[in-house]
Amino acid sequence: MRSFLLKAAATALTIAAAAAAIVHVNGHLKSAGAPLHPAVLGGAAVTVSGDGKLHLAPSVRSGDVRAVTSTYAS
């Protein structure tokens, strides 16, 4: 009888924890319109040399905006 109650309690606790996790995740969905990567200022500097090789150069520029030190998720 004791082992049955222990198994029943463990099962009930597992189901309750799974249900709480489902409710928590559904309440914290990310915005579907949010970009996966931030936009890069300017286009990528792509050049093709005479030998047909593609050369990429970085094109990220610094801005005069304040740095992000935290997000809503941190």
Residues 5-54 pLDDT 10s: 999 999 999 999 999 999 998 887 776 676 666 665 555 566 666 777 77
**Which pLDDT score, from 0 to 100, does residue 7 have?**
96
From residue 27, alpha-carbon distances to 6, 33, 63, 66, 71 in Å are 32, 17, 35, 30, 18
pLDDT exceeds 80 at position 61: no
Question: Which residue segment(s) compose the domain that 22 sits in?
Answer: 1-28
Confirm whether 13 is domain-assigned.
yes
From residue 2, alpha-carbon distances to 6, 11, 13, 15 in Å are 6, 14, 17, 20
Q: Which residue has the higher pLDDT, 32 or 64?
A: 64
Confirm whether 16 is domain-assigned.
yes
Count of structural domains, the chain: 1
**Which pLDDT score, from 0 to 100, does residue 73 have?**
67
Confirm whether 40 is domain-assigned.
no
What predicted TM-score, i.e. pTM, was given to this entire model? 0.41
